[in-house]
Structure 1
């Protein structure tokens, strides 16, 4: 390397003269600062009107490659290269017209392109017939198309980043000037969403389509694993053997809705599932609690784990054995990874951003949301129609489950129609406010208790009341990948804990 550099210097020197020692020129920058010095915010803002990054040559190279080989290039470009990636309007107009030709299955050549642009009064906008001819001959061969496309996409991503950061700067300056800007954490979440949206768009450039052969290979691998591990769950254990046998465990990318009327114990059942996965299975979990505070949820976890009475704990009435049980539960929960976010009125996009961070930082394996109807959607379509809002929230939760490949347990409310039904047995149509919840969910469990059906204590004989005390059913009304049936449970009310109920413990289950 030293000899090469020396030869180059000598070659540049005049004949008969000794080359002077080369001194590197300082690289120019818009601030007149040293290379490694970071510009101040004032200097950045002073140069905010700098030209956006683009490459006219790369854009023309892409279009020229397409024009020379349209059959090969257009099918790929249609999926992986959006028209917005072209900075110059003339290039973007030509590219959009090429995509239109592809969609209509029309032949692509300079004559057809020129004629179509002239008919729509767009020819002069792109520079006239000479510009089209120049595009066709701009590159000698189209083999470097992929390199040109990468340059165009990279410049497009840089412009998106600049736009997102500019919006974040403007939002930060304007924060606090209206009554709606009460929470700075919301500002941070929205700022993060804008940047993450650029990442999402970047990852979404590939069509993500796999051949049937690859899917078959994955399916065979799954079947082979099940044959080699008979009886082993494919997903996370719920802690309830019958539910595990019907579902195969909680699977990644699945949405499990647990719905019930108020005060049936939805939160208790969901937290029992979270506790089992996080403590007994040692898998990190995330909990989004829109109804209860994190302090109350942790208190419930401790009481349920130690099987103590919350009433006795509130009054400070505990024996030595109960204190030891509480101490043991505390140690076990401290070792577990349960991340609790108790932000009220959480927007589905904010939850998505937070779940992404939790997945990246803690590799969470399950998410629980309490509960769906308390979430919000900030889209314009959802502002005036509650059913559209619930549908967007439900679809957003399912999208998070697929993106992060984790099961999501979602609590939901049932409407009052169940209370007027004979036997008060809930059905899928009782899901409140939107049928989209039923459509998006992979599993739907309807929770009911015989001693608290319809939200009020049922009055019967003393023997019947004793038999019904604590009896509960989780009606698995929908199971996309398995059978549906009732899961008998027993509710320990003082400890807010659901345990399995076996046939010998009570009467035959209701049909």
Structure 2
């Protein structure tokens, strides 16, 4: 009855089919290893015993690996002792089967190809298993299990398949590494601003950092109210607005000046983020936009800038408490479909780790997150900007300028980050320390706050490939906008 109902609804129950496998490839690889143990090193980096369809072949591969790693010879004679004498394998004893595998193998040249075939078929079997689990879960879902939960679980399973057993990577020659280093220097030489990385649009900051370097994890940290999200949105807009598809297709010489941006906003909604960018560009205070306290002219400017920015390659994911696995999967998907040149995460402390064990220890969970972000930057070859909160210890001392030790769970963040920047505004703290009006202290305070008004500091406390120091910036709080001090004087 159930199958008939499914057919009436247009759905068909999948019929049982044979799982993808290639026994001959497994036998050929094992035979190649038996005649020359060097063949094992050709596939050991990506091939595991569980990738074999035939359990006996997987066990053989495991025993061979143990022998080779122990600097012992793996051949039919040494392997024979690991199997029962009375063992029957399709009419052959263990010794006879091993001898036949070795006799039918002629060369180890094709061993990597056999290994990749076995691995790819194992991945396909895993995908089939995931699909079957998804089908069963969809049919027999619990009452309290939402469809979104099932989608996230499926994404997690697919992510784990993609992450395990990649057979890329490995060693590269120093000659190739030198070529890459010279190419990066050539990009900086060809750039008008002498930048080797992606420009932030803030000239003084770019001069100190050389732009945002691919594979770098860049941490922007600060206490609440300092403007770290504003700095991140400013950079996101500058990079996205400078994007020229022709540069990334190779039609224009020299380094790219813009790119496609993925902004993971765990704290603010996409609408709030868009309001900030619109306020910054149209120069209409965001607070006035929220209250509707704007005139006809200002509203016209908002409509004008909305039209200008409609095609901006800035993609926002507003999922709260997103896990590092979900973030990585979505970043990969965006790069595959649209392209990707910069990732921004706001902010680290709102993310979740992948494992339940890590979730029980916050420091361990942050370590997993920062390690995952750094790995993602290297994998996708893009800079990753991650925002971070600072501990309350800043508020308890006289000197409010942040230090590396002020980072929450600072060990992993400081260790994994290539660049650590702090956003600091003296004006913010001075406003909270106003003395009694009419006193001498109040007159001094007025002079200090006048000098600090509209100014900010971006303190580069760590930079693997460049100098540390402080970059003076201007900050317009009503428009949540950072820009260079030189531009303010102009």
The TM tier, using the shorter chain, reads 0.7 to 0.9
In the alignment, does 2:398 pair up with 1:422?
yes
- The equivalent of 1:386 in structure 2 is 362
Q: What does residue 35 of structure 2 align with?
A: 68
Go from structure 1 to structure 2 and tell me whether the alpha carbon gap of 1:224 and 1:296 turns closer, same or farther (over 3 Å shift).
closer
Is the Cα–Cα contact under 8 Å of residues 238 and 277 in structure 1 kept in the other structure?
yes
* TM-score of the two chains, using structure 2 as the length reference: 0.85
1:96-136 Cα shifts (integer Å, max 9, x gaps):
11111221111232222223x15xx6994975323322322
Equivalent residue for 1:411? Answer: 387
Find the counterpart in structure 2 of residue 508 from structure 1.
none
Matched, 1:464 2:427: no
Partner of residue 245 from structure 1, selected from 207, 226, 231: 207
1:142 is displaced (CA, Å) by: 4.5
1:262 correspondence with 2:262: no
Give the aligned partner of residue 156 of structure 1.
122
- CA shift for structure 1 position 168: 1.9
1:249–1:493 Cα change, 3 Å? same
Whether 1:493 and 2:459 are equivalent positions in the alignment is no
> Structure 1 residues 457, 314: CA separation in 2 closer, same or farther (over 3 Å shift)?
farther
Unaligned runs of 5+ in 1: 1-39, 506-511
Contact conserved, 1:290 with 1:343, CA < 8 A, in 2? yes
Higher mean displacement: 217-226 or 373-382: 217-226
Asked if 2 retains the 8 angstrom alpha-carbon contact of 1:279 and 1:332, the reply is no
Q: Work out the CA distance in 1 between the residues paired with 2:349 and 2:466.
A: 27
1:89 is aligned to 55
In the alignment, what sits opposite 2:134? 168
Distance of aligned partners of 1:404 and 1:468 in 2 relative to their CA distance in 1, 3 Å threshold: same
Displacement of 1:298: 0.8
Mapping 1:6-405, distance limit 5 Å: 41-44=11-14, 47-48=15-16, 50-71=17-38, 73-115=39-81, 117=82, 124=87, 127-178=93-144, 181-182=145-146, 184-201=147-164, 204-229=166-191, 231-281=193-243, 283-319=259-295, 322-405=298-381
RMSD: 2.6
Structure 1 residue 359: Cα displacement:
1.2
Distance in 2 between residues matched to 1:109 and 1:415, nearest whole Å: 60
- Deviation string for 1:44-89 (max 9, x for gaps)? 0xx34x4433233321211111111113x12112113222221222
Cα deviation, residue 264, structure 1 = 1.5
Separation of aligned partners in 2, 1:137 and 1:284: 56
Pair 1:221–1:267, CA change in 2 (3 A): closer
| Paired position in structure 1 for 2:407 | 431
Q: Structure 1 residue 381: deviation in Å?
A: 2.3
Residues 252 and 225 (structure 1 numbering): CA distance in 2 closer, same or farther, change over 3 Å? closer
Bigger mean CA deviation after superposition, 163-172 or 237-246: 163-172
Q: What is the distance in 2 between the residues matched to 1:313 and 1:242?
A: 31
SS in 2 for 1:381: helix
CA pair 336-494 structure 1, distance change in 2 beyond 3 A: same
Q: How many angstroms does 1:248 deviate by?
A: 0.6
- 8 Å Cα contact 1:424-1:454 kept in structure 2: no
Distance 1:131 1:188 in 2: 45
**Cα distance in 2 between the residues matched to 1:154 and 1:338:** 35
**Distance in 1 between residues matched to 2:267 and 2:431, nearest whole Å:** 18
Shift of 1:269: 1.2
Contact 2:324 2:369 in 1 (8 A): yes
Structure 2 residue matching 1:368: 3-state secondary structure: strand
Q: State the Cα deviation string for residues 130-182 of structure 1 (Å, max 9, x = none).
A: 3322322233555543453343223212211112212222332343433xx34
CA distance in 2: counterparts of 1:251 and 1:86, whole angstroms: 41
Of 433-442 and 217-226, the range deviating more from structure 2: 217-226
CA contact (8 A) 1:58 1:148 kept: yes
User: How far off its partner does 1:305 sit?
Assistant: 1.0
Bigger Rg, structure 1 or 2: 1
